[in-house]
Amino acid sequence: LEIMSILELEWTNLVETDATLRLQLALEGAFYLIAYCAGLRGEEVPLTDIHGIRSTFEASGNHSRPHVVVALIGRFKSELGLNSHLMALVSVTKSGLEPRKWIGRVIAEYDRIGVTHGPMFRNAFGQRIKASAMEGKFFGRLAEVQQSKPHLMPGIEDVEEEYGVYRSFRRGVTSRAMDLGLPTDVVEANNRWRRFNKAGASRPSLSMREHYTDVTLTLNHRLRFSENL
């Protein structure tokens, strides 16, 4: 939460002409929030697909329960070749995290430069990055928090020894879910996509619109994980 407060302050200080910096900052914020609010491991976050998010962004914002859909590209089998899994996150969590705002900023910045398909987290050649590419920024943010508010990180001497993008978000949200006493079925439902992906399991052959419609049928249950964070 403190890292996101730092990013929000930096965002408000950026001017419209700082296009590159705006995109980089938006991607950083989106990475952290997708990882945490969706309960993903670091290496899973770069699976996020731009087109899958863009195609549902307007509808998810206009829904009676505004949310944002994160599309992950995996090994799911489908006759139409649609190999994505959709994870619904609340627009704003109970603690004030805002995944929809930051994901929307990424989409807006990509729209400025004509990027509408492919990996959300990409290098200069449009290729999907590895999670390790975000590690330096993450360590830098932790160092900022450690310096400005050391009481939030008691007993931590070396952030690089204690944290990392591959494990910190997943570990943190798992602990938070336990503290909140979230029902097992809610946690398991949030993790179900991972079992399909590992197995390369067959999924129904649906268009993206049909896939999203299917998500909305059980939306309240799907949002219970992220809304309580």
Q: Output the six-digit token pair for 62.
A: 């206009």
What's residue 227's pLDDT?
Answer: 87
Q: What is the 3-state secondary structure (H, E, C) of the chain?
A: CHHHHHHHHHHHHCCCCCHHHHHHHHHHHHHHHHHHHCCCCHHHHHHEEHHHHHHHHHHHHHCCCCEEEEEEECCCECCCCCCEEEEEEECCCCCCCCHHHHHHHHHHHHHHCCCCCCECCECCCCCECCHHHHHHHHHHHHHHHHHHCHHHCCCCCCHHHHCCCCCHHHHHHHHHHHHHCCCHHHHHHHHHHHHHHHHCCECCCCCHHHHHHHHHHCHHHHHHHHHCC
Burial of 124 (C-beta count, 10 Å sphere; 0-12/13-18/19+) = exposed
What's residue 79's pLDDT?
Answer: 33
**Across the strands, what pairs with 85?**
72
Query: Cα–Cα distances in Å, from 46 out to 32, 34, 56, 160?
Result: 11, 10, 19, 21
pLDDT-flagged residues of the chain (< 70): 74-84, 170-172, 174, 176-211
CA 151 to chain CA mean position, Å = 27
Q: Tell me the pLDDT tens digit for each residue of 77-103.
A: 443 344 668 889 999 999 999 999 999
Closest CA to 51 of 208, 202, 190: 208
What's residue 78's pLDDT?
Answer: 42
Q: Output the six-digit token pair for 180.
A: 């909140």
Which amino acid is residue 104, in one-letter code?
G
Q: Cα angle at 32 between 26 and 35, to 5 degrees? A: 130
What's residue 189's pLDDT?
Answer: 59
What's residue 155's pLDDT?
Answer: 73
* CA Rg value for the chain: 17
CA 224 to chain CA mean position, Å = 16
